Amino acid sequence: MPARLSAHKRGNSGFASGFYLVSIHCPVAGEDRCPPAQAARALFDQNVIWDPHAGFGPDPGVDLSKLQVWKDAGVNYLSVDVGYDVMDWRDTIKSLAAFRRWILAADGYRLVGSVAEIREAKKAGDLAVTFDLEGMNALDGSLDLVEMYHHLGVRQMLFAYNRNNAAGGGCHDEDTGLTDFGRAVIAEMYRVGMLVDCSHTAYTTTMEAMEASTAPCIFSHSNPRALWDHERNIWDDQARACAATSGVVGIVGIGIFMGENDTRTTTLADNIDHYVNLLGPEHVGIGLDYALQDEFAAEGDDSEDLAGLSDMNPEY
Ligand SMILES: [Zn+2]
């Protein structure tokens, strides 16, 4: 959630280039060291709190009133998944249309299109929302659809969802590299103002994409493979390449990416620590990828609760 892009961005102004690392000042007069609760409060007050990926099942029937959980947690800006590669691209359009309609009609939520609008939403106490696409099958081979999705509120797109597609390699498939189409999509994403997201994507495609990028790239929800060797996790050189673009790696809270379905809060903290030590805190965020269901009561954050959240997301 406290994912902030460094001020030292490269190249043109990508959508997320307005997020800056803000130093935290102790709110207690005369104190050099802050009590943790006050330091945390100051962190929330002084920054845009961004969760870069909520893993709602991208279905028009999803009850988006669950977004209240993110508001209650202090999140200011959330990216909601509206499609992934296993869906027909036309069904992605239907989910996107339904989610847009709900957010535009609901009090306390704003569909935003710029960093300035995110800041305005925070001031008003509203949750700013944009959308993400997990895989470029949503383009159905057409570069023109990038700008259309942008107009409809999409601000992040992954190359692939686990399996290879026309843009590049998926993390559970043959490591084929970035295609000419994938390269052209990157250029178009930067032209319209979208974040290039490398989660779920194969090693070579991520490295070639970050090399080709002229603005910050992110891994919205990917954990260190150095701690748990799962194909959905990423190697340290991928994380370093992301930081070199002035990007952020978001830690995911799904148990199978942290161990044998390990959902302990301490393990989540170990994953954060790994990237803080490797990259510096300005390049580390949290993209939990939790999808809340009716049967889950969102109370507290102990291991049982995390396990409940994790089990409800079948993603691998
Ligand atoms: Zn995902």
- Centre of ligand 1 from the C-alpha of residue 56, in Å: 10
Q: What is the average pLDDT score of the chain?
A: 85
- Centre of ligand 1 from the C-alpha of residue 199, in Å: 7
- Centre of ligand 1 from the C-alpha of residue 131, in Å: 13
136, 150 in Cβ contact below 8 A?
Answer: no
> What pLDDT is attached to residue 7?
27
> What pLDDT is attached to residue 302?
44
SS3 of residue 128 by DSSP:
strand
> What pLDDT is attached to residue 11?
33
The alpha carbons of the chain give a radius of gyration, in whole angstroms, of 18
Q: Which CATH number does the domain 48-311 belong to among 3.30.365.10, 1.10.1240.10, 3.20.20.140, 3.50.50.60? A: 3.20.20.140
- Centre of ligand 1 from the C-alpha of residue 170, in Å: 12
- Centre of ligand 1 from the C-alpha of residue 29, in Å: 43
- Centre of ligand 1 from the C-alpha of residue 252, in Å: 9
- Centre of ligand 1 from the C-alpha of residue 34, in Å: 36
Q: How far apart are CA 269 and CA 129, in angstroms?
A: 26
> What pLDDT is attached to residue 28?
53
- Centre of ligand 1 from the C-alpha of residue 81, in Å: 8
> What pLDDT is attached to residue 57?
80
SS3 of residue 267 by DSSP:
helix
Predicted model pTM: 0.83
> Which residue has tokens 């992605």?
92
- Centre of ligand 1 from the C-alpha of residue 247, in Å: 18
- Centre of ligand 1 from the C-alpha of residue 51, in Å: 13
Name the residue ranges covered by the structural domains of the chain: 48-311
- Centre of ligand 1 from the C-alpha of residue 289, in Å: 7
String of b and e for 282-300 (b: at least 16 CB within 10 Å)? bbbbbbbbbbbeeebeeee
Which of the residues in the chain have pLDDT under 70? 1-33, 292-316
- Centre of ligand 1 from the C-alpha of residue 197, in Å: 11
- Centre of ligand 1 from the C-alpha of residue 158, in Å: 9
